[in-house]
Amino acid sequence: MTLAGTVRRLAARLIPRRARLEAEHTTIQDVETIPRRRLTLVIGLAVLLVTIPLITLYLLLILSSFADRMLSGPDIFEARYSLENWKLLFQGKLEPAAAQLYTPRDLLVIIANTFIVALGVTAVVIFTSVMAGYAFSRMRFWGRRRLMEFMILLHAFPGVALIIAVYAIYVWSLSGIPRDVLTAYRFTYTIFARAALEIPMSIWLMKGFFDKIPWEIEWSAMIDGASRFRVWWQIVLPLVKPGIAALAIFAFLAGWEDLIYVHVFLYTGGIKTLATFIEEVIGNIETAYLPIAAAAATLYLLPTIVFFVLTQKLLLEAMSGGVKG
């Protein structure tokens, strides 16, 4: 379901006649999970209650992006609102310093860089862990248990401590790279290094999803003469779409929000992403003009929300038929 779709559905609830039709439809669709509308109401209210602080925080952030200062609650009626921050952001006048001096930046390039890293990490993570997760779930090989255990324990090593050494390897490998592909190499290295951090977790996640698929499905396909690879590709993969959706969310976000790896490998080469850019704007909290950061942050949130909603749709679609075994 797209954002627009959600809005439309929510709007429909407010209109009595359409709401009744809609309710009828939902009742039929979800008869097995939702027997009573009162249940939704009770759970909904409970969740809303714990969500209030979250809603407050994000409303303040979005309001701040239109205001002349960072808002913290009581001052929302005293601030002056305009589109000034957003205008500055899109004009690329992104770092207002004292005396309104601006350093011009190309926002489109920054956004494109962010997408390259995020989508790159997503692709690498999905490709590697969907393969490995299948092997761990379905195949017998030497050291299977130990390797799986080792994988989760790898996570105990802080990324901070790793990066010292990852950086050393990077510097060492740079000497062999021709100048004209240096930028491409920087991106590639960042993507692979960042993806590597996500892979152990993703393999664990995928294994859990592969485990849920009945063995009979594979047996019957293999008896029919399909190769192991074909079974994996054509039969099993479509069944783990919800898992891939969850994986994609985490991988995309990891790439999209990464600060440390991007900072070390790309920023030193003059390549910026939204995250490093925002970090730069906030810089010194005492002197920075923060509403611009609020605007940049709001902008930063939009693609992640769209991506999340899209993967959720995939998740629902994939499972609406249930697993047929």
Partner 1 sequence: MALPKPRVNPALFFLIPALTLIAIFYVVPLFLSIYISFTPLKNWNIQKYLGEVTTYNYERLIHMIRYDPDFGMVVKTTLFFVPVTLLINVLGGLALALATFLMEEAVSLPTRVLWILPRMTPVAVYSLMWYYFFLGDASGTLNNLLMRLGIIDQPVNWGNDPNLLPYSAWTILVIVNALVGVSFGMVVFYSALRSIPREHIIAARIDGASTWQLVRHILIPQLRWHLIYVTVWQLLSLLTTYTHIFLLVKWGAVHKYWGSTWALYVFNKAFEAEWGSEQGLAAAAATILVIIGSVLGLIALRILGYGKMMGEPRGEL
Interaction residues for partner 1, span 117-136 (CB under 8 A): 124, 127-129, 131-132, 134-135
The rounded distance, in Å, linking the Cα atoms of 173 and 175 is 6
> Does residue 108 interact with partner 1 by CB under 8 A?
no
Residues 166-205 binding partner 1 (CB under 8 A) are: 166, 168-169, 192-193, 195-197, 199-201, 203-205
Q: Rounded distance, CA 93 to CA 105, Å? A: 6
* Cα–chain center distance at 271: 21
When the beta carbons of 10 and 101 are compared against partner 1, the nearer one is 10
Please report, for residues 121, 196, 233, the alpha-carbon distance to residue 247 in angstroms, rounded to integers and kept in the order given. 11, 14, 17
Question: Interface with partner 1 by CB under 8 A: which range of 27-35, 90-98, 103-111, 178-186?
Answer: 27-35
Q: Which stretch binds partner 1 (CB under 8 A): 80-88, 92-100, 174-182, 209-217?
A: 209-217
Q: Which is nearer to partner 1, 179 or 316 (CB)?
A: 316
Phi, psi values for residue 66, rounded to 5°: -105, -5
Tell me how far apart the alpha carbons of residues 61 and 293 are, in angstroms, rounded to a whole number: 10
List own/partner pairs for 3-7 with CB under 8 A and 24 or more apart: 3/305, 3/306, 3/309, 6/309
Q: Does 278 sit near partner 1 (CB under 8 A)?
A: yes
Residues 33-92 that bind partner 1 (CB under 8 A): 33-35, 39-40, 43-44, 46-47, 51, 54-58, 60-61, 70-75
Q: 180 or 234, CB closer to partner 1?
A: 234
Q: Which of residues 213-242 bind partner 1 (CB under 8 A)?
A: 215, 218-219, 222, 228-229, 232, 242
Task: Check if the beta carbon of residue 71 is closer than 8 Å to that of residue 63.
Answer: yes
